Amino acid sequence: CEHVSYLLNHEMYNITEFNFTGDPTEGLTQVLAGTPFTAGIVDFTDSVTMKINQKVSRRAALMQYIAILGGEIEYAGYQIIVVIK
């Protein structure tokens, strides 16, 4: 059984551009916009910046965002939670 996050690999969720600087929870909300997923608790508060200017899957964008934060991802159904490693 595929992990629920693999839904974000579907082509309909691909993005070609993303430019965000600010609150980590707001950034996660924007990364997930237009998908069935929502942002849960994000254990980070320092401003974060992520820019994408090429076609990527939404899952790849999500994983990049988590990597930039330096966090670890947890799932509660369709809610994405980011914890400090």
pLDDT of 2 reads: 67
User: How many structural domains are present in the chain?
Assistant: 1
- CB-based contact 62:40 (threshold 8 Å): no
User: What CATH number is given to the structural domain containing 13?
Assistant: 3.55.50
Residue 63 domain boundaries: 4-84
- CB-based contact 72:44 (threshold 8 Å): no
Q: pTM score, two decimals?
A: 0.94
Query: 3-class DSSP state for residue 21?
Result: strand
What does the block give as tokens for 58?
């939404």
Mean pLDDT by runs of 10 across the 85 residues of the chain is 87 98 98 98 98 98 98 96 96
pLDDT of 3 reads: 83
Helix (H) or strand (E) holding 48: strand 48-52
pLDDT of 22 reads: 98
Alpha helices in the chain (DSSP H): 24-32, 58-69
